[in-house]
Amino acid sequence: MSDNVPVYIQIHDEIRRLIEKGQWKIGDRLPSERELAQEFNVSRMTLRQAIQTLADEGIVERKIGSGTYVARRKVQETMAGATSFTDIVMSQGKIPSSRTVSYKMTIPSSSEIEALQLNGHEHILRMERIRYADDEPICVETTSIPYHLIQPLDREDITKSLYRSFEEKTEYRLGKAKQVISAALATERIAELLDVHRASAILVTRQITYLSDGHPFEYVRSQYVGDRFEFMLER
Amino acid sequence: MSDNVPVYIQIHDEIRRLIEKGQWKIGDRLPSERELAQEFNVSRMTLRQAIQTLADEGIVERKIGSGTYVARRKVQETMAGATSFTDIVMSQGKIPSSRTVSYKMTIPSSSEIEALQLNGHEHILRMERIRYADDEPICVETTSIPYHLIQPLDREDITKSLYRSFEEKTEYRLGKAKQVISAALATERIAELLDVHRASAILVTRQITYLSDGHPFEYVRSQYVGDRFEFMLER
DNA sequence: CAGTGGTCTAGACCACAAA
DNA sequence: TTGTGGTCTAGACCACTGA
């Protein structure tokens, strides 16, 4: 292991790797703190710090008098860090996928001009996707991005892992995000895309992600099936 | 102080109380961990655990090699999670009000037993309120609290400003809150209370607020009219 | 009952900040 | 150089869970 990285972080990473590798599955009990401490050759307090970090991240759950278990889902990460649909779904043990319904360079609508603080002469990329968890449609997501920001990215960068590609291939860094959540009834078109009845309850979110310098980066409107998705947050 | 409450929680509460009292103001440096440990007559590790909890809550900030400082209160503090009903309504230039529909001591339901971690023999206070903005009904809110926690409070304390009264009149301190947001259709009863059509879109939130020692304090279920309310988050 | 996580002690050495 | 928070040890006792 590398030097000058605290031991408890190294142990945290190792245990997390083992869980991801499948050494322990969801609901499994980990070895006791005393056993793990011996195994990693550290004191129990140090081992506990590693477990504490995992617990803070929602990766494991501790039960007094019983043991430490691989958690069913991460609660905190959902709204805390960079919320990607992929992370949320995977943390619940389901397989995320998506289908791109449309993808085009176009002229912004008035709401896009306002959200992205455009002058009306710039072009944007607008794409619409349906997102699935275990092949069940969960939401329809419309993303709009000023074209000049993502010029160096190709379509695969954008549709596969936008945030990572963007930070890797440009000098920009992402900053805060503002999100508004409301509820509405499904329109005919949305109902069809999501395979629900017309006038089902829909959880609607509109999010603007900003660059670290405060300029808008993307504007995302999502419509989730009300009974297939929940937002979780901790404060 | 009560027994069987961990020392580090007691110290956490005491330091927090001193900060609120003005012993140290925003930006002030607290005494060093070694000093505080001596002052509270505990080991440094225990004192650190108290400071850690305060840091997690954003009440203090640690700076390596420098010290521990009282964190500056940000306006964004409320925006870190979701903003409160009162704040959102007032920020839109409207006047918030509420009407209590029911208020009674009763036996907890199974979902309340689970959310509040009760044993089934304890009583709870359950109250139901309708919240308005400029006299337009916005949401129905059901709050459940273990009775023993609010025994010293009277009905006005509870309905007017529960959190403040609770922290003023008891030794308990409030900690984290977990919230889940989803969407559903209005039931007949909710539709009537909120003056909307049956099967309107409803934004549903369930929140559990915890004490600083991790025990549940209250369980709140809210149902907002979908086209009259939005949640705003920043992250 | 034995085993678990939760708490706590009284030290220690480190990297870092500030004077 | 001094003092700070960050990490770490090798024990200890507790309340709780589950057989």
Residue B52 is which amino acid? Q
Output the CA angle A78-B207-A174, nearest 5 degrees: 30
Beta bridge partners of A180: A206, B232
Q: Is the CB of A8 under 7 A from strand D?
A: yes
- Measure CA B96 to chain center: 19
Judge: B201–A181 Cβ closer than 8 Å, yes or no. no
Interchain proximity B183–A231, CB inside 8 Å: no
Chain B: closest CA distance from residue A38 (Å): 21
Q: Is B210 on the interface with A (CB under 8 A)?
A: no
Q: What's the pLDDT tens digit per position in A190-222?
A: 999 999 988 899 999 888 888 766 788 999 999
CA of A129 to C1' of C6 (A): 47
CB of A219 lies under 7 Å from some atom of strand D? no
CA distances from B2 to A170, B9, B52, B111 (A): 56, 11, 22, 29
Mean pLDDT of A16-35: 88
Q: Residues A89, A94, A95, CA angle at the centre, nearest 5°?
A: 90
Under 8 Å between Cβ of A113 and A120: yes
Q: Which residues contact A23 (CB under 8 A, 6 or more apart)?
A: none
Round to whole Å and give the CA distance between B207 and B180: 6
Cβ of A34 near strand C (distance < 7 A): yes
CB atoms within 10 A of CB A216: 20
pLDDT at A187 over 70: yes
Burial of B96 by CB count in 10 Å (0-12 exposed, 13-18 middle, 19+ buried)? middle
Helix axes A44-56, A7-21, angle to 10 degrees: 60
Residue with tokens 């025990």: B215
Interchain proximity A181–B224, CB inside 8 Å:
no
Nearest residue to A77 via CA among A88, A66, A67: A88
Average pLDDT over residues B70-91: 57
Instruction: Output B8 or B87, whichever has higher pLDDT.
Output: B8
| Type of residue numbered A38 | Q
Q: In this predicted model, which residue has the larger pLDDT, B176 or B72?
A: B176
For residue A165, the SS3 value is: helix
Are the CB atoms for A216 and A113 separated by under 8 Å?
A: no
Contact criterion met (CB below 8 Å) for B14 and B8: no
- 3 state SS of B166: helix
Alpha carbon separation from A61 to A24, A144, B16, B28, B107 (Å, rounded): 13, 38, 28, 36, 29
Is the pLDDT at B233 greater than 80? The verdict is no
CA of A50 vs chain B CAs: smallest distance (Å): 15
A75 and B229 within 8 Å at the Cβ level: the answer is: no
Identify the pLDDT of residue A74. 38
Q: How far apart are CA A74 and CA A61, in angstroms?
A: 10
CB contact under 8 A, B235 and A181: no
Nucleotide nearest to B68 (CA to C1'): D5
pLDDT in tens, A38-62: 999 999 999 999 999 888 877 888 9
Taking Cα atoms as reference points, which of B78, B198, B203 lies closest to residue B138?
Answer: B203
B199: left (phi over 0), alpha (psi -120 to 50) or beta: left
Record: contact B203-A182, CB cut-off 8 A:
yes
Q: Whose structure tokens read 């791109």?
A: A100
Please tell me which residue, B110 or B193, carries the higher pLDDT value.
B193
Q: Answer whether any strand D atom is within 7 A of the Cβ of B63.
A: yes
C-alpha closest to that of A45 among A32, A34, A60 = A34
> How high is the mean pLDDT of chain B?
84
Contact A120/A176 with Cβ under 8 angstroms? Answer: no
> Residue B1: is it exposed, middle or buried by C-beta count within 10 angstroms (0-12/13-18/19+)?
exposed
Q: Which residue is nearest to nucleotide C19 (CA to C1')?
A: B66
Instruction: Give the closest nucleotide to B48 (alpha carbon vs C1').
Output: D5
Confirm whether pTM is higher than 0.75.
no
Q: List protein-proximal bases of chain C (any atom < 7 A from a CB).
A: 3-12, 15-18
Of B180, B200, B230, the CB nearest to A230: B180
Helices (H), B81-212: 85-91, 110-115, 155-169, 188-194
B68 touches strand D (CB under 7 A): yes
Lowest mean pLDDT segment, chosen from A13-22, A79-88, B114-123:
A79-88
Question: Which pair of tokens denotes residue A207?
Answer: 């999010």
Q: Any idea what DSSP says for residue B124?
A: E
CB contact under 8 A, B203 and A202: no
The answer to whether A2 CB sits below 7 Å from nucleic acid chain D is: no
Cβ–Cβ under 8 Å, residues B48 and A45: no
B229 touches chain A (CB under 8 A): yes
Q: Is B138:B89 a contact under the CB 8 Å cutoff? A: yes
B234 strand D contact, CB < 7 Å: no
In this predicted model, which residue has the larger pLDDT, A196 or A73?
A196
| Interface test mutation site (partner A, options B84, B233, B234, max chain A beta carbons within 10 A) | B233
| pLDDT for residue A149 is more than 70 | yes
Using a CB–CB cutoff of 8 Å, tell me whether B215 touches chain A.
Answer: no
Closest Cα in chain B to A230? B182
Decide: CB of B142 under 7 A of nucleic strand C.
no
